[in-house]
Chains A and B, each alone.
Chain A
Amino acid sequence: MATSAIYILDLKGKTIIARNYRGDIDSSAIDKFIGLLMEKEEEGQSSPVLTYHETNFVFIKHTNIYLVSACRANVNVTMILSFLYKCVEVFTEYFKDVEEESIRDNFVVIYELLDEMMDFGFPQTTESRILQEYITQEGQKLVSAPRPPMAVTNAVSWRSEGIKYRKNEVFLDVIESVNMLASANGTILQSEIVGSVKMRVYLTGMPELRLGLNDKVLFEGNGRAKSKSVELEDVKFHQCVRLSRFDTDRTISFIPPDGAFELMSYRLTTLVKPLLWVDTSIERHSHSRVSFIIKAKSQFKRRSTANNVEIIIPVPSDADSPKFKTSIGSVKYMPEQSAIVWTIKSFPGGKEYLLTAHLSLPSVMSEDAEGRPPIKLKFEIPYFTTSGIQVRYLKIIEKSGYQALPWVRYITQNGEYELRMN
């Protein structure tokens, strides 16, 4: 049921570091990995799970390395993939950029981490803040050698005791990413909000926190159905949140880890008007030129403003000599992306802007068929949530009885925001 070995490979498939937990994987098996991957990709059958004889590879790619797990049993693949992503997360906390060079630079600590995070193929402690308490890069004398922090095996395995701050503060960021997919004729095919509540916690001791949201299920239970509330379709919590408590009375109660973490994420399908909309009309004169008329509209309230708006409009890859005309923002042609990017620093609600673009096309048509990438939008709208979610309170209780200040920010941004083109 567990994985047999973990490998970190470079892009050529050469092993940088390997940890063979079970000794049942032939050392030459991993050499087959990259060839297998290429072969599958060529056949159009790529997949994150590959088989070579009786060895199964489950892998992810991160920057210029592959993290590969090899196994011979019917393992829990989801667990392995989550674990590999967790490895990247922990390594990032340890040495920032996780890539070929930094892996080589830190091989000693990586060996130590791989041994602490996984035993005989079973994932163990993967909380990087706790690991950092007893796995450090400086060698220690045995006398002062670190002991396993209580937290490693505690029920509260993500926070150590004895944390102290002069000023007790909590920062809450509510970030909503809007995913939208619209067809070329303007029909909205899919529209959902993926929200995330991120926290930065600087609190002394073992504080008990309770977060109150305008959750519809909770309000209905309390007979406050009329108040403005949000119906969350699905909620996911950090492991510090007591899930059974939430299940019974929708209370979000937890002892937070120290520092930054994602407390929860939620998802809801919306039927609201898209926040930003782009109408395009394209005139193609094949063999000579193509012109675009692009109309961007903001459809949110006038008192909000979208910042750093980028509208990425795909153009034929063989286009050249761009000419643009617009009343606002700046336009750039990015040949390497085969796109023009229209940047508007500040886009108030209820406005409409226009861009016209002309590009030349070569007289000889290229033979390769081109895909039809969608228009993509990037934006940020501060102090605003599309769903209307609100933090009603954040109660902080610690036995020493200090006062702590919670700060809350809201922001809405683009997720996968795509409008298909004709």
Chain B
Amino acid sequence: MFSAQVIGALSVNPEKWFDKTIRNMTDSKYFTTTKKGEIFELKTELNSEKKEKKKEAVKKVIASMTVGKDVSALFPDVVNCMQTDNVELKKLVYLYLMNYAKSQPDLAIMAVNTFVKDCEDPNPLIRALAVRTMGCIRVEKITEYLCDPLRKCMKDEDPYVRKTAAVCVAKLHDMNPALVKDQGFVELLNDLLSDANPMVVANAVAALTEINEQKTVIEVNSQMVNKLLTALNECTEWGQVFILDALAGYTPRDDREAQNICERISPRLAHANAAVVLSTVKVLMKLIDIMPADSEFITQLTKKLAPPMVTLLSAEPEIQYVALRNINLIVQKRPDILKQEMKVFFVKYNDPIYVKMEKLDIMIRLAQQSNISQVLSELKEYATEVDVDFVRKSVRAIGRCAIKVEASSERCVQTLLELIQTKVNYVVQEAVVVIKDIFRKYPNRYESIISALCENLDTLDEPEARASMIWIIGEYAERIDNADELLESFVEGFHDENTQVQLQLLTAVVKLFLKRPGVAQALVQRVLSLATQDSDNPDLRDRGFIYWRLLSADPAAAKNVVLTEKPLISEETDLLEPSLLEQLVCHIGTLASVYHKPPSAFIDPAKAPLRQINPTTTNTNGANLLDTSSSSRNGTSSAPTVIPSQDQVIADLLSLDLNAPATTAAFGGNTMSGTTSSGGLDDLLGLGGDVSVPSVPVQSAHNPFDPLAGLGLGNPAAAQIPSQQQPAAIGGLAEIFGTNALSTNTLNYNYPKELLLDASKAMGMQVEGTFIRKSGRIYMELTITNKAMQAMSNFAVQFNKNSFGLVPAEQPNSLAPLLPNQSQNFTIACDTTGPVQSVFIYSFIQNKK
């Protein structure tokens, strides 16, 4: 039955397997076959007269298939075994068929007769098996034969067959949607919703929901809802999930219907299955929104929601994680529901790190005056743990508490100071970053701690911490006696610093100069020349020039601009955008709720059509996002590194800056820390860093800039971008921002391609393009058209340094030469690892001749 020679196809010690086989005679014996002539040997055994031998041979074939060996050559021999009276053997043959039918479509037809026959078998198990397997054979020729047996099975007397047939309709739809529609299967499926058997109803609704996701074939109506609610009490736990998920897509006609649904599904909150509970929460959250908010019914209902969610925290850690991600949404949507439950989110020593991190997030969201002292002592405890990421997040959380609960800020600052005393390097750095935020929220209140911070100046080696410290020194320059020395020490190594630090240093020195002109005269000149003359970073240079001219043209105006009173930062800086939150609440329990991204951001666009975008966003966008007019002039003639001439840069900068503030301001609310130098204006104003960028009102952001327009630096026309166009620009940048893995959770749209480069300006090369995002990666889709008289070849793509650090990750090397009047599409992946600079993306396409 098994041979003595053992092959090494298994990853574990084959000898051990073999020994065990002899002793136990388990299935593992089938994995041991001779290598030489193995297929031949199996072929003989499959054709053996003896039934036992046949079955053993099929098992060996399946075993080979399991370990990934190709046994498709045995297809005809295995199919020959199909007509058997042994159920187990039949199942194995079917299993083989499902795996290999695709590779042998012509031979697969051989099996059809047996399938059709089996669909008529007196035993319902066989009928169901046949229809289940046929649906899994993804061979087009077979689907035609599937229709008749399937139709019969949908009306079978046995519910086991009907429930299998219901799922089979979804399978057929996946292969051939038109067939399902033409052959009337949708109607048959609809009939099954009225089936007397709850499991049939559940599977029918699952199939229908899936078909509807592609294209709505049947609207869920109130009649259907009634049937579903009846079946809900009687079907299996999984069936209940299917039904609840289908109900989540239904919008009731009126309050009464909504209330009725709530009453009938809320008992499901007591189900032991976490999926049933979360799907119930999903439907309830949606319905609560529809009904009048102040009714007694709603108050009672929301009270019922908290206990089941808390109980989910005793589930398996993976389920806890999903529950916590969802609680994070629910807490943002309806903060009242869980406001009393702070303690259950306290971190336990053995919680997996992913659970710890999520609990921390929710603790901050729930922090308020009444529980802040508990929260703080917990956070302090966590900040002395050993896991670096967890500790950092805990320190950051203390800062967020200070900003959120004003009454606690004093204690938070005290706690942070104590943590700084520990001298643990990463704790100190994280603390400095959050203290800067606290200063932004409560200016002139805690300057007394600056000296303690300065003691740790030398240990700061992370850009964000250094930048924060420099901001603090600049901001309080008049009260730090040796501010000039401190800043000078940073200026020593100016060129070794990260851009973020350089920008901050420039601003801080200018502030120092404006506050104490006496001590910083030399320093400011040095920094300005470092920034404008020795740096090849356009962003830094631009800012240097602006300061320089500002200072020389009108020092009083400079003072007004640079030392202007800053708006306070808001407390909630990481809330999801409301429209996204709305969307995610409708997806409770699903992947979208775990990723906190809309489904369109991570699923195959072919399967789920992306949202249409607003057609008005086209033209202005192109001009703002991709300044191709300059590249077209330089593109063909100059080396790839050439930057547009200086005048042009400044003109561009100005037009850009008038847009950029609006953009950054709009984003401020939800930009997380980590995005570097977000927009020029904030830093110019000395607002400092990027963490918790405030929601600066657009108006106030514009005003301080007005003096600049009069400085004659750029094209005044650029300042007059009509206000209607601004949302468009925001949308455009939002797209890019949304693609930045770190930052916002903006919706993702796919913009249609826009004309980036007109043929008339670029020797016949026309370029259209857009940015898209797939699986968290940014791609640029480009269409190149050759409108010249001769062929073009050797294309290369380059982006100028831009504020998103976007760089092409690959080159279109494989692109064939482009003949006149032809066009080609290609997509290049982009990374955001490039140097981060101004808000434009200059895009170069070079046609190397």
Interface residues of A (CB under 8 A from B): 1-2, 10, 12, 14-18, 21-23, 44-49, 51, 53-54, 56, 58-60, 71-79, 81-83, 85, 100-101, 104-109, 111-112, 115, 119-120, 122-126, 134, 139-143, 145-148, 152-155, 157, 179, 181, 183, 189-190, 192, 194, 233-239, 242-244, 246-247, 262, 264-265, 267, 369-374, 416, 418, 420
Please give, as numbers and ranges, the residues of chain A lying within 8 Å of B272 by CB-CB distance: 236-239, 262, 264-265
Interface pairs (19), CB distance under 8 Å: A1-B206, A1-B210, A12-B11, A44-B387, A46-B353, A54-B604, A74-B590, A78-B319, A109-B27, A115-B95, A119-B167, A122-B242, A145-B123, A147-B124, A147-B125, A190-B344, A234-B307, A236-B271, A265-B311
Cβ–Cβ contact B275 & A78, under 8 A: yes
Whether the pair A373, B352 counts as a contact (CB closer than 8 A) is no
Contact assessment for A119 and B271 in the assembled complex, using a CB-CB cutoff below 8 Å = no
Residues of chain B lying within 8 A (CB to CB) of residue A243: 233, 267-268, 270-271
- For A265, the chain B residues whose CB sits under 8 A away are 272, 311
Q: Are B68 and A139 in contact (CB under 8 A)?
A: no
A112 near B91 (CB under 8 angstroms)?
Answer: yes
**Which residues on B sit within 8 Å (CB–CB) of A147?**
123-125
- Contact check, B603 vs A74: say whether CB atoms are below 8 A apart: yes
Residue of A nearest to B163 (CB): A153
Asked whether B388 lies within 8 Å of A44 as measured between CB atoms, the reply is yes
Type the 1/0 row for B198-209, where 1 means its CB is closer than 8 Å to any CB of A: 111001001001
- Inter-subunit contact A108/B27 (CB<8 Å): yes
Within 8 A of A (CB), among B304-323: 307-308, 310-311, 314, 316-319, 321-323
Q: Is B695 an interface residue (CB 8 A)?
A: no
Interface residue? B138 (CB, 8 A): yes
B594-631 near A? 1/0 per residue, CB < 8 Å = 11000100111001100000000000000000000000
* Chain A contact residues: helix, strand, loop or mixed: mixed
Q: Within 8 Å of chain A (Cβ to Cβ): is B241? A: yes
Asked if residues A139 and B88 are in contact (CB atoms below 8 Å), the reply is: yes
Interface of chain B, helix or strand or loop or mixed? helix
Q: Is B494 an interface residue (CB 8 A)?
A: no
Residue contact B270 to A237, C-beta cutoff 8 Å: yes
A321 to B234, CA, bound (A): 63
Which among A15, A106, A108 has the highest number of chain B CB atoms within 10 Å?
A: A108
**A-chain residues with CB within 8 Å of residue B599 when the two chains form the complex:** 73-74
Residues of chain B touching chain A, judged by Cβ–Cβ distance below 8 Å, are: 10-12, 17, 20, 24, 26-28, 30-31, 55, 59, 62-63, 66, 68, 84-89, 91-92, 95, 102, 123-126, 128, 132, 135-136, 138, 158-160, 163-164, 167-168, 170-171, 174, 197-200, 203, 206, 209-210, 213, 233-238, 241-242, 245, 264, 266-268, 270-275, 277-279, 307-308, 310-311, 314, 316-319, 321-323, 343-344, 346, 348-350, 352-354, 374, 377-378, 381, 384-389, 587, 589-595, 599, 602-604, 607-608, 774-776
5 more CB-based (< 8 A) A-B contacts, given A48-B318, A238-B272: A1-B206, A81-B316, A179-B314, A183-B381, A370-B386
A118 to chain B, nearest CB (A): 9
**Complexed CA–CA distance, A288 and B358 (Å):** 40
Provide the bound-state CA to CA distance between A78 and B320, in Å. Answer: 10
Rounded to whole Å, the gap between the CB of A251 and the closest CB of chain B is 12
Pair B31/A104 contact, Cβ less than 8 Å: yes
Partner of A72, one of B102, B237, B346, B604: B604
Q: Residue of A at shortest CB range from B358? A: A47
Question: Complex: how many Å from CA A384 to CA B310?
Answer: 25
B residues less than 8 Å from A183 (CB atoms): 377, 381
Residues of A within 8 A of B17 (CB): 104
| Contact partner, B352, options A46, A106, A154, A189, Cβ 8 Å | A46
Q: Which 10 A-B pairs rank lowest in CB-CB distance, beginning with the nearest?
A: A234-B307, A142-B85, A247-B267, A48-B318, A105-B26, A74-B599, A79-B275, A139-B88, A243-B267, A153-B159
Which residues from B are CB-within-8-Å of A71? 591
Cβ contact of A100, chosen from B12, B125, B234, B385, cutoff 8 A: B12
Please determine whether B589 and A79 come into contact, CB atoms closer than 8 angstroms. Answer: yes
B contact residues around A189 at 8 Å (CB): 343, 346, 374, 378
CA distance A155 to B196 in the complex (A): 10
Complex contacts, A101 vs chain B, CB 8 Å: 12, 20, 28
**Complex partner residue of B316 from A85, A123, A190, A237, CB under 8 angstroms:** A85
Q: Given A17-B66, A104-B28, A239-B237, does the pair A76, B343 have CB atoms closer than 8 Å?
A: no
Q: Which of A1, A82, A179, A192 contacts B275 (CB 8 A)?
A: A82
CA distance A45 to B322 in the complex (A): 15
Do the beta carbons of B87 and A145 come within 8 Å of each other? yes
Q: Which residues of A contact B267 (CB under 8 A)?
A: 243-244, 246-247
Q: Is the CB of A239 within 8 A of B236?
A: yes
A381 to chain B minimum Cβ distance, whole angstroms, is 20
Smallest Cβ-Cβ distance to A56: which chain B residue = B591
Could you tell me the distance between the alpha carbons of A420 and B349 in the complex, rounded to whole angstroms? 9
Q: Which residues of A contact B308 (CB under 8 A)?
A: 234, 236
Residue of B nearest to A267 (CB): B311
C-alpha gap A326/B62 in the complex (Å): 62
Q: Which of A17, A142, A416 has the most CB of B within 10 A?
A: A142
Nearest Cβ in chain B — how far from A14, in angstroms?
A: 5
Tell me which residues across on chain B come within 8 A of A76, comparing CB atoms: 241, 245, 275, 279, 589-590
Instruction: For the complex, give the distance between the alpha carbons of A71 and B590 in Å.
Output: 12
- Best-surrounded residue of A44, A153, A267 (most CB of chain B within 10 A): A153
* C-alpha gap A140/B86 in the complex (Å): 6
**A140–B87 CB distance below 8 A:** yes
Cα distance A198–B125 when bound, in Å? 33
Are B602 and A44 in contact, with the CB atoms below 8 A?
no
Query: Are B200 and A51 within 8 A (Cβ)?
Result: no
Contact A239 B310 (CB under 8 A): no
Q: CA A155 – CA B374 in complex, angstroms?
A: 48
Give the residues in chain A near B273, CB-CB below 8 Å. 82, 239
Please give me the residue from chain B that is nearest to A2 by CB atom: B210
Closest chain-B Cβ to A34's Cβ sits at a distance in Å of 12
Tell me whether A106 and B27 are in contact in the complex, defined as CB-CB below 8 angstroms, given that A72-B604, A115-B91, A157-B199 are known contacts: yes
Given known A-B contacts A74-B591, A76-B241, A244-B233, A44 and B353 have beta carbons under 8 A apart: yes
B138 in contact with A23 (CB, 8 Å): yes
Closest CB in chain A relative to B687 CB, distance in Å: 30
With A142-B85, A236-B271, A243-B233: A107-B66 Cβ-Cβ less than 8 Å: yes
Checking B55, B167, B321 against A120 with a beta-carbon cut-off of 8 angstroms, the contacting residue is: B167
In the assembled complex, the Cα of A160 lies from the Cα of B566 at a distance in Å of 73
B741 to chain A, nearest CB (A): 11
Contact of A77 among B158, B386, B594 (CB under 8 A): B594
Q: Is B206 touching A142 in the complex (CB atoms < 8 A)?
A: no
- Of the candidates B85, B245, B271, B775, which one forms a contact with A239 in the assembled complex, judged by CB atoms under 8 Å apart? B271
B591→A152 contact, CB < 8 A: no
Are A371 and B385 closer than 8 Å at their CB atoms?
A: yes
Q: Is the CB of A10 within 8 A of B11?
A: yes
Q: Do B386 and A371 touch (CB < 8 A)?
A: yes
A111 to B99, CA, bound (A): 12
Minimum distance in angstroms from B684 CB to a CB of chain A: 34
Chain B residues positioned under 8 Å from A106 (CB to CB): 26-27
Smallest beta-carbon distance A19→chain B, Å: 9
- CB of B82 to closest CB in A, whole Å: 13
Q: When the two chains form their complex, are residues A267 and B354 in contact, meaning their CB atoms are under 8 A apart?
A: no
* Chain B residue at minimum C-beta to C-beta distance from A238: B272
Chain A residues within an 8 Å CB radius of B234: 155
B115 to chain A, nearest CB (A): 16
A247 to chain B, nearest CB (A): 4
Kindly provide the distance from the CB of B291 to the nearest chain A CB, expressed in whole angstroms: 19
Question: Do the beta carbons of A157 and B236 come within 8 Å of each other?
Answer: yes
With a CB–CB cut-off of 8 A, which chain B residues contact A420?
381
Q: Is the CB of B592 within 8 A of A48?
A: no
B384 pairs with A372, CB closer than 8 A: yes
Min CB distance A108 to B, Å, is 5
Q: How far is the CB of B677 from chain A (nearest CB, A)?
A: 24
CA distance A222 to B556 in the complex (A): 80
